[in-house]
Amino acid sequence: MDKILPVYKPVAMTSFDVIRAFKRSVHPNFKVGHGGTLDPFADGVLLLLLGQATKQMNELSRLPKTYRAKALLGASSDTLDKTGEIVNGRYAKIKRTELSKAIEKFHGEIMQQIPNYSATKINGVPRYKLARAGKAMESKAKLVTIYSISILHMDAQSVEYECCVSAGTYIRQLSFDILHSLGCDSYLESLTRTAIGHYDLLSCVKIEDFTNLETAISR
């Protein structure tokens, strides 16, 4: 069984929870990998790599990814999303034209700060573990590519985007940086990965499909 299987990951599950669920339905020693993690608070497309397809892990992890995100305005979070400690922050009434102009500055290759609450490691320890322990960390940035950002909806309390970005881009940080440039604090209330390359939500199987393996694999 050598296959790339797009799966819909629900909110609250980790990427490895999905792998464990698949293995419980097949065999605990079955070879399964994934083509890029998805934060527990986010939902959407996760690629499971079955059998020999795990050899394509590096190639698949570099595919562009598309997300739909909703940011709440006027408050901030240490994790940049709703899972962190949320405090009131700066609020600015933003016009759509102002937001569009700010977004233009983030198109193409940009240097993006790596969030403290991320899986990136420092001396073998994930940054999020150091952050939870209150350890001081040096700021670090990396080169990412923003292919497109479009505004889906905005009102006085929130902004919804659709973004297509290179692998390794943090949408939490991207949204925060855009709104921060306009003098407004924010954090993500929701995040959905709608596509990885040509694999989209319509091509995904659900966790409950794992109990009928023949149905899941034939998709």
Q: What residues are labeled active site?
A: 39
Q: CB under 8 Å to 53, separation ≥6 — which residues?
A: 2, 3, 4, 33
Quick one: angle between helices 171-180 and 96-104, nearest 10? 120
Buried b (16+ CB within 10 A) or exposed e, 27-47: eeeeebbbbbebbebbbbbbb
Q: Where are the alpha helices (DSSP H) in 26-95?
A: 57-61
Distances (CA, A) of 197 to 59, 119, 214: 11, 22, 25
Q: CB under 8 Å to 106, separation ≥6 — which residues?
A: 146, 149, 174, 177, 178
**Rounded to 5 degrees, what angle do the CA atoms 43, 106, 70 make?**
30
Both tokens assigned to 200? 């989209």
Local structure of 176: helix, strand or coil: helix
